[in-house]
């Protein structure tokens, strides 16, 4: 009994036949003594442990340790896989009496474990009669000599199972769809679940379509449905679909800006982008005179694609190096603050540790808008990248040891210190500093400290609890700041797999005007945190318009209101509602009353494909696809005569999830399938009336009934 050294066979035979042979060889591979080693078998190169007792040998295979040829892909919310494999052998007088191998695989979507699938596989061999003499052993000088004298042609074949897939005969094709295009139609409301299902079907068709068919589809489609097809083509990411987009989209012409922007946003939110997709985006942006919003969206997309490719350990790609060089070169030559802000947003989306020094430089030296953007970019880095150098810079900004900073910059610096394994001294110094701050800023910061005590997942919770045991800090006088500013965080949905939270920060000025509001929806699942949506609305200069006095020594800020959005951990280009009094009056008088669209479209949230080779030689294919449709809009209405400020954020969305396991062979097919769909609608409104003192404020969060199937 020795481990199998190699497997030889005929390359011409079917992969299923050779896989079944691999299964038998794997079952018969065992060692007679206790040990832990690495073996090659049908599952790949795996760590196995042998335990020996009398005539019994037990082999336990760690399937999670197996390395095998690439057989799939996954995205952020993929599939949780729990495999086990155990084989029992009975050996007497150096003769194998029986072999029993059992393995199981439990798989479930990361967001919904109740849809789990269990696969059990069992192989058994039993010795029924004493062995009879077989063919004589063939001897030779080498293995090659022996094989040369044997019948047939024998080539070395790998031990790991080869992917086997039957050709799908009933799957819908894009060519068939084109023939009946006028009858099918395309649903365009992304907040409806029917659109999400249609989006997934289109992706499947596009992945097997030819370039000419995709181009024909794009040309024949009505203008209102082209954005949907562009999103599906980007999500498909086949060579043909990307080549078709490259031919169809012309950034040098006056194409509809909305279609070009749709393409860039689809690339931005791709769950597992390829180097080809980044190459396409860079080529479309390179050397062209672009509208400002197209250029801004393009830079944001480049940063997002660079970051996601590096997460896939593809930082060494030539396209990634070109993307990083494009951002850094542009940042170095940018002269206007709005241009610098866009490049900093791109660096924040990329989250490359090597760019932290550039972010720190702009955080400490830049004007308020640049400083805020640079600190926001730093906040997105994981804790292991927040070094002592970063923390020292944040202390200088918060405590204003070198120069003064705008209050929102100081608050953002404090949050970096509090959210990344803070030292007790950092927490104490921040708390003590609130005693010297303006009331509203201190109120917000103290509330955020108290929120961290209630959040079980907060990294500073234990340190906070220890500090709160000190009576000199934890007392009524310290925490009784009277202000309007507020900070809240709480759960929206709690399931076995998922915690969905809603957070709201409101920072007011001393005169009672809203300076900044941040509403955030986050998901926590299996130790991973995803910021699904964060909408920040800022207004400044309102106090001077209403006749309020500016504090001595404080520069009068320009009248401005705008919004920035982070969606699925990607920060989008900022939106300006108005800038300056003249712009405000023009928009008040000429307002259409329609809200500003922030994000509207479809994206592939989950995209998982996994081939599990069973030890028997058969294979199971696991597929998970989740389509998400979103329509997020925001509005700010300033009533000069009523002295009211209203903001409204409306989020409507749909999610469709298709999870299936398929066992496929010429003589046996079996499929298990689970489908889930949900539609949701959340509205967040704020109304501030500052015609009297104190300012009257109304907050309303409404969630419509959620159909879940």
Please give the CATH topology (third level) of the domain spanning 7-157. Answer: Lipovitellin-phosvitin complex; beta-sheet shell regions (2.30.230)
Which pLDDT value is given to residue 488? Answer: 84
pLDDT at 393: 95
Q: How far is CA 527 from the centre of its chain?
A: 14
Identify the bridge partners of residue 529 per DSSP, sorted by sequence position.
524
Q: Is the peptide bond before 694 cis (omega within 30 degrees of 0)?
A: yes
Computed on alpha carbons and rounded to an integer, the radius of gyration of the chain in Å comes to: 31
Q: Name the nearest CA neighbour of 277 among 218, 235, 215, 227.
A: 235
Q: pLDDT tens digits for 256-309?
A: 778 899 999 999 999 889 999 999 999 999 877 888 889 999 999 999 999 999
Vertex 400 angle, CA 394 and 406, to 5°: 90
Q: Which of 496, 590, 615 is CA-nearest to residue 46?
A: 615
Interval 423-466: pLDDT, tens: 888 888 888 888 888 888 999 988 888 877 776 666 677 777 78
Tally Cβ neighbours within 10 Å of residue 237. Answer: 22
Over residues 335-364, the mean pLDDT reads 94
pLDDT confidence tier of residue 693, bands split at 50, 70 and 90: low
> Phi/psi of residue 279, each to 5°?
-60, -45
| 8 A C-beta contact, residue 559 and residue 541 | yes
> How far, in Å, CA of 360 to CA of 356, rounded?
6
- Mean pLDDT lowest among 507-516, 605-614, 649-658: 507-516
Span 43-96, pLDDT tens digits: 888 999 999 988 899 999 999 998 876 667 887 778 889 999 999 999 988 888
d(CA 182, CA 184): 6
Q: What is the DSSP letter of 511?
A: T
- pLDDT of 553: 43
Provide the residue ranges of all domains of the chain, joining segments of one domain with +. Answer: 7-157, 360-469
Cα–Cα distance between 663 and 270 in angstroms, integer? 29
- The pair phi, psi for residue 525, each rounded to 5°, is -140, 120
CA distance 519 to 79: 29
Instruction: Quote the CA–CA distance of 199 and 237 in Å, as a whole number.
Output: 14
Q: What is the DSSP letter of 708?
A: B
Separation of alpha carbons 436 and 446, rounded Å:
13
What is the pLDDT, as a whole number, of residue 552?
A: 45
Share in percent of the chain as helix, strand, coil (round to 5): 35, 30, 30
- Alpha carbon of residue 638 to chain centroid: 36
Maximal CA-CA distance, the chain: 107
Q: Is the pLDDT of residue 149 over 80?
A: no
SS3 state of residue 150? coil
């Amino acid at each position: 009994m020795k481990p199998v050294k190699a497997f030889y066979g005929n390359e011409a035979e079917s992969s299923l036949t050779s896989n079944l042979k691999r299964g038998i060889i794997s079952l018969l591979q065992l060692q007679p003594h206790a040990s832990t080693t690495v073996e090659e078998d049908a599952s790949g190169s795996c760590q196995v442990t042998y335990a020996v007792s009398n005539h019994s040998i037990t082999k336990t295979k760690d399937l999670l340790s197996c390395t095998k040829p690439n057989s799939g892909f996954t995205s952020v919310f993929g599939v949780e896989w729990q495999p086990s494999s155990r084989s029992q052998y009975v050996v007497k007088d150096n003769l194998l009496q029986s072999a029993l191998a059992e393995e199981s695989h439990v798989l479930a979507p990361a967001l919904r474990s109740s849809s789990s699938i269990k696969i059990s596989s069992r192989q058994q061999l039993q010795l029924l009669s004493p062995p009879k003499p077989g063919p004589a052993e063939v001897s030779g000088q080498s293995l090659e000599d022996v094989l040369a004298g044997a019948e047939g042609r024998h080539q070395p074949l790998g031990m790991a199972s080869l992917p086997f897939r039957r050709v799908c005969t009933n799957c819908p094709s894009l060519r068939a769809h084109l023939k009946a295009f006028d009858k099918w139609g395309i649903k365009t409301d992304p907040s409806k679940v029917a659109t999400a299902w249609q989006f997934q079907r289109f992706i499947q068709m596009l992945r097997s379509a030819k370039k000419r068919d995709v181009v024909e589809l794009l040309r024949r489609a009505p203008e209102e449905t082209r954005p949907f097809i562009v999103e599906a083509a980007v999500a498909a990411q086949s060579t043909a679909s990307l080549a078709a987009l490259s031919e169809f989209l012309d950034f040098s012409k006056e194409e509809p800006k909305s279609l070009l922007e749709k393409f860039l946003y689809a690339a931005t939110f791709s769950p597992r982008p390829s180097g080809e997709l980044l190459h396409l985006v860079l080529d479309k942006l390179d050397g062209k005179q672009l509208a400002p919003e197209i250029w801004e969206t393009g830079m944001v997309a480049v940063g997002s694609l660079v970051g996601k490719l590096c997460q896939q350990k593809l930082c060494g790609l030539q396209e990634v190096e070109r993307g990083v060089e494009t951002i850094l070169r542009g940042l170095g030559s940018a002269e206007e603050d709005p241009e610098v802000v866009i490049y900093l947003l791109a660096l924040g989306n990329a989250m490359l540790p090597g760019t932290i020094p550039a972010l720190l430089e702009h955080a400490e030296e830049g004007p308020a808008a640049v400083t805020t953007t640079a600190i926001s970019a730093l906040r997105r880095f994981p804790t292991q990248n927040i070094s002592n150098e970063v923390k020292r810079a944040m202390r200088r900004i918060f405590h204003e040891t070198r120069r003064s900073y705008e209050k929102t910059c100081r608050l953002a610096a404090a949050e970096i210190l509090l959210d990344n394994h803070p030292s007790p001294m950092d927490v104490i110094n921040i708390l003590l500093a609130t005693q010297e701050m303006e009331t509203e800023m201190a109120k917000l910061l103290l509330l955020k400290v108290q929120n961290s005590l209630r959040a079980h997942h907060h990294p500073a919770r234990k340190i906070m609890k220890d500090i709160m045991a000190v009576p000199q800090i934890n007392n009524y006088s310290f925490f009784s700041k009277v202000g309007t500013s507020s900070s809240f965080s709480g759960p929206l949905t709690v399931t076995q797999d998922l915690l969905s939270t809603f957070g709201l920060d409101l920072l007011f000025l001393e005169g009672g005007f809203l300076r900044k509001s941040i509403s955030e929806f986050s998901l926590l699942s299996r130790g991973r945190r995803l910021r699904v949506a964060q909408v920040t609305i800022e207004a400044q200069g309102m106090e001077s318009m209403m006749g309020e006095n500016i504090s001595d020594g404080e520069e009068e800020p320009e009248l401005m209101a705008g919004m920035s959005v982070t969606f699925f951990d990607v920060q989008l280009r900022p939106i300006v509602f108005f800038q300056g009094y003249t712009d405000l009056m023009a928009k008040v008088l000429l307002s259409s009353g329609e809200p500003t669209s922030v994000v509207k479209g479809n994206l592939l949230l989950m995209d998982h494909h996994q081939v599990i080779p069973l030890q028997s030689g058969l294979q199971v294919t696991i597929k998970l696809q989740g389509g998400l449709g979103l329509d997020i809009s925001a509005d700010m209405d300033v009533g000069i005569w009523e002295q009211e400020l209203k903001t409204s954020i409306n989020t409507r969305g749909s999610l469709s999830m298709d999870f299936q396991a398929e066992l496929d062979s010429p003589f046996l097919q079996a499929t298990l399938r689970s489908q889930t769909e949900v539609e949701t609608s959340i509205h967040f409104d704020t109304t501030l009336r500052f015609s009297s003192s104190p300012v009257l404020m109304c907050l309303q969060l409404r969630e419509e009934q959620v159909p879940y199937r």
